[in-house]
Structures are given as structure tokens and as C-alpha cells.
């Protein structure tokens, strides 16, 4: 899977989550998955990517995509979609909100 990875951080700049994204050109959507860092564990980028990839491959989550989207616009679309999902970890949603606020 040829994914793009987004690492979300908390206000203290510590890693909170990894979001794996892949554009599905046939459906016109960005499929994504995530992994959330457990603060009791040592953050490992490779493990975070593997977990996020597994969820992205399951194609459970998707966001709107257009050929005119830049990488930044694609990230915004994914994070806004993520915020609309129910039952996701609060740490993930807070980090996504912080990313979106920081770039506006």
C-alpha cells in the first residue's frame, strides 16, 4: 500500500496518533486508518504506521477527494472526516482539531 502518513501531536508536541491515507482514484475518496499512541508505551513510528495501514486497508473510513486537492487540502479533508466519526479515541480527535486550528 502506497500511503501518506500524518503524525498528529498534542500541545506539548508529543506524538498522539498516526493517520495513514491512500487515494482511491476509482471511488474518488481518500481511504484512511489511524493508530493512537498509548502514553504508557514508547512511541514507535513503524508500529504506528503498521497499525494505521491495517485500518486503512480495511476501508472502513473515507473522506472526500478531488484531483484539484493539494496534499494539505487532502489532509484537511481526512481530519474533518475523522472528527465526524463516532466512537474514535478522544486523544485522536483533540489532536486532529489542534492540527486544523494551527494551519488556519
pLDDT of residue 1: 47
pLDDT tens per residue across all 104 residues of the chain: 468 999 999 888 889 999 999 998 888 899 999 999 988 888 899 999 999 999 998 888 999 888 888 888 999 999 999 999 999 999 999 999 999 998 76
- State how far the alpha carbon of 15 is from the alpha carbons of 10, 69, 82, 83, in Å: 7, 26, 17, 18
Tell me, what's the pLDDT at 2?
67
Q: Kindly state the cell numbers that stand for 97.
A: 482539531
Domain positions in the chain: 4-103
DSSP string, 45-98: HHHHHHHHHHHHHTT-EEEE--TT--HHHHHHHHHHHHHH-SS--HHHHHHHHH
pLDDT at residue number 104:
67
- The pLDDT value recorded for residue 69 is 87
- Can you tell me which residue has the cell 463516532? 86
Q: What local confidence, expressed as pLDDT, does residue 46 receive?
A: 93
Question: Given the C-alpha cell 494551519, which residue does it identify?
Answer: 103
**pLDDT at position 70, please?**
87
As a whole number of angstroms, the distance between CA 84 and CA 44 comes to 27
DSSP 85: -
Amino acid at each position: 500500500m502506497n500511503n501518506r502518513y500524518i503524525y498528529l501531536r498534542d500541545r506539548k508536541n508529543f506524538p498522539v496518533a498516526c493517520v495513514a491515507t491512500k487515494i482511491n482514484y476509482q471511488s474518488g475518496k481518500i481511504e484512511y486508518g489511524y493508530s493512537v499512541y498509548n502514553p504508557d508505551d514508547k512511541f514507535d513510528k513503524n508500529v504506528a504506521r503498521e497499525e494505521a495501514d491495517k485500518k486503512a486497508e480495511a476501508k472502513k473510513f473515507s473522506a472526500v477527494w478531488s484531483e484539484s486537492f493539494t496534499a494539505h487540502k487532502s489532509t484537511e479533508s481526512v481530519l474533518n472526516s475523522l472528527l465526524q466519526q463516532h466512537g474514535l479515541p478522544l486523544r485522536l480527535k483533540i489532536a486532529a482539531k489542534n492540527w486544523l486550528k494551527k494551519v488556519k
